[in-house]
Amino acid sequence: MTTIVRQATVAIADGIHARPSHALVSLAVEFNASVRLCFDGRNADSKSILSVMTLGAPFGSMIELRGEGVDAEEAVDAIANFIEDTSNKAPNGD
């Protein structure tokens, strides 16, 4: 099976905390692929909110995404685009 690898820079102002983690996981579960997020020697399952939250990736950090499965390329691209989108912030503007 081919592994799709892509790097993404966290553009979410406060990093990947609770609210963005929830949105990221909600996006990830739309795909059949398994996508792992790698940051600072830690790995997170993109379909696990606790795993994503404990990754602790702050604004400006580089995350490596590694996807496997039939729709891995689409999943990795969608998640990377979410991470790099500066408009992803808390609904109240935080």
Which sequence positions are flagged as catalytic?
17
- d(Cα 22, Cα 9) in Å, to the nearest integer? 18
CB atoms within 10 A of CB 72: 22
Asked if residues 23 and 90 have their Cβ atoms less than 8 Å apart, the reply is no
